[in-house]
C-alpha cells in the first residue's frame, strides 16, 4: 500500500501469545487509510507464521524478517521503511480501540500537530484486571511551552506508543532511537517533545497497555535501569549538539542522570568500575557548566559527597540532590 496517511509500526520479537490480538485490533479500525508494517526481529517462536497469515489476508499488512538487532535498531528501520505521512508505534503485546487511528488522525489534521497523543488503560496480565487510573499522574497535566516544561512532559511520558507523529517532522529533526540499550523510547520521546512545534492531546483512553508480561524486557529491572542511564547520557550529547542545553533544562537533565544512578545503586547493580557509570560522572562534571550558579553548586556538592563516601552512601546523596 503506497502513500497511506498513517504507517503503524510494530517491532516483533517472540510475541506469538499476544500478537494476534494486537493485529486484530488494527484490522478492526474505523479509519482505513493506513498500513501496518511489522519487522520480525529474529523471533524464535511462531511470530513469523502469524505475520504471514495476517499479510496474506489483508493488503494493508506487510512485514520484514531480519536477524535479531534489538528494539532500537528495529524501530529505526521501521521509520526508514514506512510510507505513511504519519507514524504510529504499537507494541506487539498491546492493542488499541477501534477509533484509535481515526481519533488521532482527525485531531492531528485539525490542530496541525507534530505529535498527537491519547490517554491509555493498563491491563495487568498477572491479575487479569484493569489497573485503576492514577489521575494525579504528571502524564495527565497540560503540556507547557517552555523548554523545561517540554522536557518534563517527555520525561513523564517516556513511551512512543499512544501517539501519532508527523513523519516529515521526525525526518526534519533527524530523530532516531538509541541502539544497543533498553528504554530507548524514553530519549526518543523527550527529543520529540523538545523539538515539536505543536503537541495535542486527545482525552480518550484508546491505547491498551499490557503490563506484568512474563519475560518482557521491562520486567528486568537491572537491564531497564542500565538502559535508562544510557538514554540520559545520550540526551546530554544530543541536547548539546542541538543547542538545547539552557540553564533550566541542564539542571533538570542532570538531576535525571543522578536519579538514574540512584536507581542503579538501589538495585544493587551500581559499580564505580562500570563504564556507563564512569561516563555519567564525567558528564555531570562537564555539563554542570551549562547550569546557573545554583545548579553548578548543587552538582559540585553532590560530586564531592559522592566522591568522599563512594557507593556506600551514594543512594542517599543522590536522593537528596535529585
Q: What is the pLDDT of residues 149-190, one digit of tens each?
A: 999 999 999 999 999 999 999 999 999 999 988 889 999 999
User: What confidence score (pLDDT) does residue 107 get?
Assistant: 98
pTM value? 0.93
**What integer pLDDT is reported at residue 225 of this predicted model?**
84
Residue 224 has pLDDT above 90, yes or no: no
Q: What is the mean pLDDT of residues 268-273?
A: 62
The whole-number pLDDT of residue 199 equals 96
pLDDT above 90: residue 113: yes
- Among 85-89, 144-148, 275-279, the minimum mean pLDDT is found in 275-279
pLDDT digits (tens, 9 = 90+) for 30-87: 999 999 999 999 999 999 999 999 999 899 999 999 999 999 999 999 999 999 999 9
The β-bridge relationship of strands 115-124 and 199-211 is parallel
Amino acid 137: pLDDT: 62
Better-scored residue on pLDDT, 64 or 224 = 64
Residue 195 has pLDDT above 70, yes or no: yes
For 3, residues 6+ apart whose C-beta sits below 8 A from its C-beta are 83, 84, 85
Contact assessment for residue 13 and residue 41, using Cβ atoms and an 8 Å cutoff? yes
pLDDT of 136 higher than 90? no
| Cell 568500575 belongs to residue | 273
Structure confidence at residue 303 (pLDDT): 85
What does the alpha-carbon distance between residue 222 and residue 267 come to, in Å, rounded to a whole number? 7
Q: Which of 26-35, 102-111, 256-265 has the lowest mean pLDDT?
A: 256-265
Count Cβ atoms below 10 Å from residue 214 Cβ, excluding itself. 8
Q: Report the pLDDT value the prediction gives residue 219, as an integer from 0 to 100.
A: 53
The total of other beta-carbon atoms located within 10 Å of residue 57's CB is: 9
Residue 319: pLDDT band with limits 50, 70, 90 = low
Amino acid at each position: 500500500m503506497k502513500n497511506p496517511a498513517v504507517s503503524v509500526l510494530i517491532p516483533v520479537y517472540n510475541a506469538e501469545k499476544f500478537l494476534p490480538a494486537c493485529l486484530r485490533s488494527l484490522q478492526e479500525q474505523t479509519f482505513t487509510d493506513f498500513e501496518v508494517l511489522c519487522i520480525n526481529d529474529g523471533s524464535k517462536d511462531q511470530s513469523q507464521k502469524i505475520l504471514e497469515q495476517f499479510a496474506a489476508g489483508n493488503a494493508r499488512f506487510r512485514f520484514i524478517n531480519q536477524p535479531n538487532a534489538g528494539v532500537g535498531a528495529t524501530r529505526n528501520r521501521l521509520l526508514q521503511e514506512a510510507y505513511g505521512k504519519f507514524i504510529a508505534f504499537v507494541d506487539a503485546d498491546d492493542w488499541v480501540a477501534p477509533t484509535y487511528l481515526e481519533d488521532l488522525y482527525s485531531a492531528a489534521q485539525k490542530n496541525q500537530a507534530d505529535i498527537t497523543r491519547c490517554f491509555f488503560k493498563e491491563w495487568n496480565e498477572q491479575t487479569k484486571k484493569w489497573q485503576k487510573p492514577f489521575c494525579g499522574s504528571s502524564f495527565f497535566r497540560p503540556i507547557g511551552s517552555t523548554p523545561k516544561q517540554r522536557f518534563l512532559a517527555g520525561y513523564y511520558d517516556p513511551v512512543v506508543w499512544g501517539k501519532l507523529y508527523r513523519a516529515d517532522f521526525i525526518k526534519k529533526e533527524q530523530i532516531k532511537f538509541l541502539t544497543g540499550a533498553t528504554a530507548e523510547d524514553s530519549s526518543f520521546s523527550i527529543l520529540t517533545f523538545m523539538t515539536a512545534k505543536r503537541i495535542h492531546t486527545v482525552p480518550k483512553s484508546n491505547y491498551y497497555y499490557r503490563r506484568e508480561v512474563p519475560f518482557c524486557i521491562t520486567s528486568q529491572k537491572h537491564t531497564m535501569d542500565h538502559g535508562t542511564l544510557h538514554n540520559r547520557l545520550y540526551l546530554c550529547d544530543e541536547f548539546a549538539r542541538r543547542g538545547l542545553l539552557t540553564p533550566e533544562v541542564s539542571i533538570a537533565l542532570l538531576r535525571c542522570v543522578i536519579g538514574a544512578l540512584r536507581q542503579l545503586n538501589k538495585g544493587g547493580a551500581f559499580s564505580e568500575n562500570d563504564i556507563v557509570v564512569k561516563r555519567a560522572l564525567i558528564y555531570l562534571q562537564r555539563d554542570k557548566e551549562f547550569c546557573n550558579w545554583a545548579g553548578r553548586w548543587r552538582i559540585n556538592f553532590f560530586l564531592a559527597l559522592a566522591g568522599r563516601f563512594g557507593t556506600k552512601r551514594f543512594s542517599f546523596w543522590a536522593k537528596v540532590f535529585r
